[in-house]
A = this chain, B = another copy of it.
Amino acid sequence: MSNVHALSARKADYDIHPLFTGRWSPRSFRNQPIEDAALFSLFEAARWAPSANNSQPWRFIYAKNGSQTWSSLLGLANENNQRWATNASVLIVLVSKTSHVRNGDSEPSPLRNHSLDAGAAWTNLALQATHAGLITHAIGGFDREKAREVLAIPEGFHIEILIAVGYQGERSALPEDIQLREQPTPRKALAGFYAEGRFNFSE
A interface with B by C-beta (< 8 Å): 10, 12-17, 19-21, 23, 25, 37, 40-41, 43-50, 52-54, 56, 58-64, 67-69, 72, 95, 97, 112-113, 115-120, 122-124, 126-128, 131, 138, 140, 150-154, 157, 160-161, 185, 187-188, 190, 193-199, 201, 203
Q: How far does the alpha carbon of A118 sit from the alpha carbon of B119 in the complex, in Å?
A: 7
Nearest-CB distance from A160 to chain B (Å)? 6
Nearest-CB distance from A154 to chain B (Å)? 7
B47 A154 Cβ-Cβ under 8 A: no
Q: How far does the alpha carbon of A68 sit from the alpha carbon of B41 in the complex, in Å?
A: 45
Nearest-CB distance from A48 to chain B (Å)? 4
Q: How far does the alpha carbon of A190 sit from the alpha carbon of B48 in the complex, in Å?
A: 10
Q: How far does the alpha carbon of A19 sit from the alpha carbon of B25 in the complex, in Å?
A: 21
Of A48, A122, A185, which is in contact with the most chain B CB atoms at under 10 Å from its CB? A48
Residue of B nearest to A186 (CB): B54
How many copies are assembled? Answer: 2
9 pairs of residues in contact across A and B, judged by CB atoms under 8 Å: A12-B48, A16-B44, A53-B140, A69-B198, A97-B203, A112-B140, A116-B122, A119-B119, A123-B123
A193 B46 Cβ-Cβ under 8 A: yes
> What chain B residues lie within 8 Å of A45 (beta carbons)?
16-17, 20
> What chain B residues lie within 8 Å of A53 (beta carbons)?
140
A61 B193 Cβ-Cβ under 8 A: no
A50 B72 Cβ-Cβ under 8 A: no
Residue of B nearest to A13 (CB): B44
Q: How far does the alpha carbon of A37 sit from the alpha carbon of B142 in the complex, in Å?
A: 40
